[in-house]
Amino acid sequence: MKFERTLIEKIRQAQRIVFFTGAGVSQESGIPTFRDGPNSVWQHFDPEVYATVPGFDKNPTKVWEWYWERRQTFKALKPNAAHHVIAAWQEKIQKVTVITQNIDGFHQRAGSQSVIELHGSLAMDKCRANGHSFKHDGNSVFDEHPSCAECGSLLRPDVVWFGEALPDVAYYQAEMDCSNCDVLICIGCSMDIYPAANLPYTAIASGAYLIQINLNSTNLNEVANCNLRGKAGEIMPALWQAVYEN
């Protein structure tokens, strides 16, 4: 796989790199996207039922069962080459930030540290009443009414549902890192989910070199410095080799 010389040099010279990932990077591991494509999650399940506070309040057992099944599916799948290369990059350069819209935890399983999870994580639960946060026991059996150890209220998955704001601290840190990076590599993002989709433009406005890796065209095509069309699991290892092994 051939890459432009400018692209290679920009990455080699970069002191601060941000990887911004979306559903496309985990799709290659077997996790369907939420919106795009005939096999996307919301083509088969109603988000009003499974991804809103009113839906949860109406039937928490149904929602909990659905997320329990998703957690079991995720456990059986593995991070792919793109996740592993991103983790290797964190060991290569002093300042590498991973910002993800995904809730699967695959970046951490591949070895990435201090991942900014904009939409929460299936590895965590929080209580409905007060927001007390707990690590989810991935080996537990299905519990239709899990309760908070601190206040006794009903737990829910600690993910961002429709109508909810992104976590303030996570989004602020993501904005700061995008404002101060030399290179931003956007991987598998549909660029349809806001406010997360604003982050690459924050990087551009601050003078960063923007690389997009995607199977499909997005709104970033016209503004990215480099568009690489294809699977992240194939492009990322080839890019690593071109930058560090040639």
**How far is residue 103 from each of residues 65, 226, 240, measured CA to CA in Å?**
17, 27, 25
d(CA 119, CA 100): 8
Give CA–CA dist 31/56, Å, rounded: 23
- Residue count of the chain: 246
The burial of 219, by beta-carbon neighbours within 10 Å (0-12 exposed, 13-18 middle, 19 or more buried), is given as: middle
Point out the catalytic residue in the list 83, 84, 107, 119: 119
**Cα 130 → chain centroid:** 25
* CA distance from start to end of the chain: 12
Looking from the CA of 136 toward its CB, the CA atoms found within 13 Å total: 27
The sheet with strand 116-117 has its strands ordered as 116-117, 95-100, 16-21, 183-187, 209-214, 226-229
Active site residue 119: yes
3-state DSSP call for residue 71? helix
Q: In the chain, what is the greatest distance between 2 CA atoms, to the nearest angstrom?
A: 58
- Active-site residues, by number, are 119
